[in-house]
């Protein structure tokens, strides 16, 4: 089904995103994988998202114009269209073949900016196990460093100042703290000030995944 839908939209833009079948965490990292979703994921995705409704509600972005929502099928078709035109990509986060979250890259700009905005969430029963930092590092290595990715220069992550878990994620990956932006995004019924962080090509070094694994090993050594 996934290949069929991609065939419908086709690579219609020079900026079309050539999405990998699957991205796997490197040796030594939390053993997760990232993959795009298709129609067959509807039941599992709806189940995971429904079970985490209250957990995610305080951080969930919304539409201030209160437009009509999308069906799962419409959403998947929009994802294929975004990939075909270079606008963004949504990955499922999987652990042992089980869907446990999502990470997205959207609002992509090319030309002089080559930037994109990242958002992510992890199911409550898997929070606190290093999954979100690894997913972010994997996405960054692909989006910035891979010749098969969109080869962006900058990724931006906007976080509510009180979201301590998400703040810990970007700090573990080594993102730059760029300060607050007033009323930056519409969240849970209000325009909310966010703190923004960035991952730049200049900061990549040997890879964000490699750096994250090294930092985790150093931390474990210190507490032993």
Q: What per-residue confidence (pLDDT) applies to 222?
A: 44
Question: What is the average per-residue pLDDT within 151-179?
Answer: 97
Question: What is the average per-residue pLDDT within 116-122?
Answer: 98
Question: What is the average per-residue pLDDT within 203-207?
Answer: 95
Phi-psi map region of 114: left, alpha, beta (phi>0 left; psi -120 to 50 alpha): left
Is 90 exceeded by the pLDDT of residue 216? no
Q: Looking up tokens 């796997």, which residue turns up? A: 24
Asked if 139 and 105 count as a contact pair (C-beta separation under 8 A), the reply is: yes
Q: Looking up tokens 């042992």, which residue turns up? A: 96
Q: What are phi and psi of 107, to 5 degrees?
A: 50, 45
Q: What per-residue confidence (pLDDT) applies to 69?
A: 84
**Cα 28 to Cα 214: distance, rounded to the nearest angstrom:** 9
Question: What is the average per-residue pLDDT within 70-79?
Answer: 96
Is 50 exceeded by the pLDDT of residue 5? no
Least confident of 5-19, 39-53, 130-144, 158-172: 5-19
**Cα 191 to Cα 204: distance, rounded to the nearest angstrom:** 32
Question: What is the average per-residue pLDDT within 161-189?
Answer: 96
**Cα 102 to Cα 135: distance, rounded to the nearest angstrom:** 9
Q: Looking up tokens 């199911």, which residue turns up? A: 123
| CA distance to 6, 29, 32, 131, 171, per residue, from 218 (Å) | 43, 13, 21, 18, 15
> First and final CA of the chain: distance in angstroms?
49
**Cα 170 to Cα 180: distance, rounded to the nearest angstrom:** 15
CA atoms within 13 A on the CB side of 44: 14
Q: What per-residue confidence (pLDDT) applies to 13?
A: 87
């Amino acid at each position: 089904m996934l290949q069929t839908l991609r065939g419908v939209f086709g690579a219609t833009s020079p900026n079309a995103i050539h999405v990998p079948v699957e991205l796997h965490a490197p040796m030594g990292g939390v053993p997760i994988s990232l993959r795009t979703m298709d129609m067959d994921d509807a039941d599992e995705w709806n189940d995971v998202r429904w079970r985490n409704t209250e957990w995610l509600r305080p951080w969930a972005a919304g539409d201030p114009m209160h437009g009509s929502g999308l069906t799962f099928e419409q959403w998947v078709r929009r994802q294929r269209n975004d990939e075909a035109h270079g606008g963004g990509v949504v990955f499922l986060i999987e652990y042992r073949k089980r869907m446990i979250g999502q990470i997205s890259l959207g609002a992509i700009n090319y030309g002089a900016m080559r930037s994109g905005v990242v958002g992510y969430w992890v199911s409550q029963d898997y929070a606190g196990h290093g999954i979100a930092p690894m997913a972010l590092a994997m996405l960054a290595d692909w989006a910035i460093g891979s010749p098969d990715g969109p080869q962006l220069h900058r990724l931006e992550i906007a976080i509510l100042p009180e979201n301590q878990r998400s703040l810990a994620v970007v700090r573990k990956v080594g993102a730059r703290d760029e300060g607050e932006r007033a009323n930056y995004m519409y969240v849970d019924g209000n325009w909310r000030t966010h703190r923004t962080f960035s991952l730049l090509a200049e900061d990549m070094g040997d890879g964000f995944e490699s750096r994250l694994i090294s930092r985790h090993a150093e931390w474990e050594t210190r507490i032993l």
